[in-house]
Amino acid sequence: MIVADKKPVEEIIEYVKDCQKILVLGCNECVTVCEAGGKKEVGVLAATLRMYFSNQGTEDVQVDERTLERQCDHEYLEEIRDIADQYDAIVSIACGVGIQFTAEKYHSIPVYPGVNTCFLGVTEQRGLWTERCQACGQCILAYTGGICPVARCAKRLFNGPCGGSSKGKCEINKELDCAWQLIIDRLKAIDRMDLYEKLFNVKDWSTDRAGGPRKVEREDVQI
Amino acid sequence: MRLIYPTSFRIIRVPCTGKVDVQHMLRALEKGADGVCVIGCMEGECLYKTGNFRARKRVEQVQRILQSIGADPGRARMYNLSSSDGPLFAKYAGEMDAQIRELGPNPMKKKKQSAA
């Protein structure tokens, strides 16, 4: 899932302090799971903003709440078509994708981010999310025991660990696992150490961000 | 025991303080409560193991939110006591009441009264 973290309230207040009618817009998908932008967080942020405006004596500011199934699909974003125009600002607490798509769709309304979008990751435990994928566009997990050296090795190495690997940890942080140690442990566990002996060709990074914004186009599913 | 505690207290019973969410506390404050006080079991004696620790974290979260919007974080507080300790409950209620009176009415409440 896409992992996001809450923005400091002070930063959000700075965006909307001069607005009269604000919509806090949440998303029911990834940001709900990582507890940064779901229905509950919409409630907390909207209540916080309402209390802020009351404390400031600006009694007539209206802060409304809405949570969409997704903010990255036309059909769900259309659900606020009939109400969007009445707002001076939308604070979207979806991931960066949702925030941008909302801004694209409602061209004349300022859309502000309520979260910092961080990475593609997993919930290791409640309140702890870690990165697993960098969406490089050319998956090599079949050869690395299902552990990605692009996302998890600080140097993105493809042919074994560097000299900084010590006792299974990375030199940049003693708490960070060395990705190649994990890969070797896993290859041993599945009895595929032959894959470790195989040299990787130079990776084609044109599918990564180096080639600019990317797109996936599939005619077979297009209508 | 016929103990006396401030009449300003409105008690909302929950199965465990772990049930109390940030949203509940913010809603109470937003609707005009002058303060919110969460009273849980003694630490280490939660029937559900960690309910009161969770509640404490949430109260701290509410305090941070109050601070960030320029309100007094003292409007949200957490106390721990044993369910059989009535005198301590009365003492904490008095403490909370005194503290809130010192802070004055919740600005949100004032607004609603003047609007009415």
Asked if A32 and A26 count as a contact pair (C-beta separation under 8 A), the reply is yes
The Cβ of residue B86 has, within 10 Å, a number of other Cβ atoms equal to: 14
Domain housing A43? 2-119
Q: Which residue in B31, B68, B72, B112 has the most chain A C-beta atoms within 10 A of its own C-beta, making it the best mutation to test that interface? A: B68
A165 and A60, same structural domain? Answer: no
Quote the pLDDT of residue B111.
59
Contact B26 A51 (CB under 8 A): yes
- Asked if the structure places residue A125 within a domain, the reply is no
Contact A48 B71 (CB under 8 A): no
Contact A48 B21 (CB under 8 A): no
At A95, which CATH number? Answer: 3.40.50.1970
pLDDT band at B107 (very low <50, low <70, confident <90, very high): confident
Residues in B closer than 8 angstroms to A8, CB to CB, are: 68
Average pLDDT over residues B108-113: 60
pLDDT averaged over consecutive 10-residue blocks of chain A (223 residues)? 97 97 98 97 97 89 97 97 96 98 97 98 96 95 96 95 96 96 97 95 88 92 93
Contact A48 B68 (CB under 8 A): yes
Is pLDDT above 90 for B115?
A: no
Return the beta strands (E) in A126-191 as ranges: 128-133, 169-170, 173-177
| Strand, coil or helix: A12 | helix
Q: Which residue in B54, B61, B69, B108 has the most chain A C-beta atoms within 10 A of its own C-beta, making it the best mutation to test that interface? A: B69
Quote the pLDDT of residue B88.
94
Q: Domain total for chain A?
A: 2
Residue A63 Ramachandran class (φ > 0 left, ψ -120 to 50 alpha, else beta): beta
Residue of A nearest to B63 (CA): A48
Q: What is the DSSP string of A76-96?
A: HHGGGHHHHTT-SEEEE-S-H
Q: Which residue in A54, A56, A58, A63 has the most chain B C-beta atoms within 10 A of its own C-beta, making it the best mutation to test that interface? A: A54
Asked if A116 and A144 count as a contact pair (C-beta separation under 8 A), the reply is no
Asked if A149 and A37 count as a contact pair (C-beta separation under 8 A), the reply is no
Alpha helix (H) ranges present in A56-193? 74-77, 81-84, 96-105, 149-152, 179-189
Nearest residue, CB atoms, B29 vs list A9, A51, A57: A51
Quote the pLDDT of residue B116.
44
Contact A51 B21 (CB under 8 A): no
Q: What is the pLDDT of residues B34-86, one digit of tens each?
A: 999 999 999 999 999 999 999 999 999 999 999 999 999 999 999 999 988 99
A85 and A159, same structural domain? Answer: no
Quote the pLDDT of residue A79.
97
- Asked if the structure places residue A98 within a domain, the reply is yes
Residue of A nearest to B22 (CA): A44
Asked if B9 and B97 count as a contact pair (C-beta separation under 8 A), the reply is yes
A96 and A42, same structural domain? Answer: yes
Residues in A closer than 8 angstroms to B107, CB to CB, are: 54-55, 57
Q: What is the DSSP string of A39-88?
A: HHHHHHHHHHHHHHHHHTT-TT-EEEEEEES-SSSHHHHGGGHHHHTT-S
A191 and A103, same structural domain? Answer: no
Is pLDDT above 80 for B109?
A: no
Contact B30 A51 (CB under 8 A): yes
Q: How far apart are CA B100 and CA B10, in angstroms?
A: 14
Is pLDDT above 70 for B113?
A: no
Tally of CA atoms within 13 A in the half-sphere of A7 that contains its CB? 21
> Is A56 near chain B, with CB under 8 Å?
yes
Q: What is the pLDDT of residues B85-97, one digit of tens each?
A: 999 999 999 999 9
A99 and A189, same structural domain? Answer: no
- Asked if the structure places residue A111 within a domain, the reply is yes
pLDDT: is A46 or B112 the higher one? Answer: A46
Q: What is the pLDDT of residues B11-29, one digit of tens each?
A: 999 999 999 999 999 999 9
User: What Å distances lie between residue A66 and A22, A29, A39, A58, CA to CA?
Assistant: 11, 14, 8, 22
A32 and A64, same structural domain? Answer: yes
Is pLDDT above 60 for B110?
A: no
A144 and A114, same structural domain? Answer: no
Asked if B38 and B78 count as a contact pair (C-beta separation under 8 A), the reply is yes
- Asked if the structure places residue A17 within a domain, the reply is yes
Quote the pLDDT of residue A167.
95
User: What Å distances lie between residue A116 and A37, A50, A112, A119, A154, CA to CA?
Assistant: 10, 22, 11, 10, 22
Asked if B66 and A10 count as a contact pair (C-beta separation under 8 A), the reply is no
Helix (H) / strand (E) element for B60: namely helix B51-68
The minimum CA-CA distance between B115 and chain A, rounded to whole Å, is 9
Asked if B17 and B51 count as a contact pair (C-beta separation under 8 A), the reply is yes
- Asked if the structure places residue A43 within a domain, the reply is yes
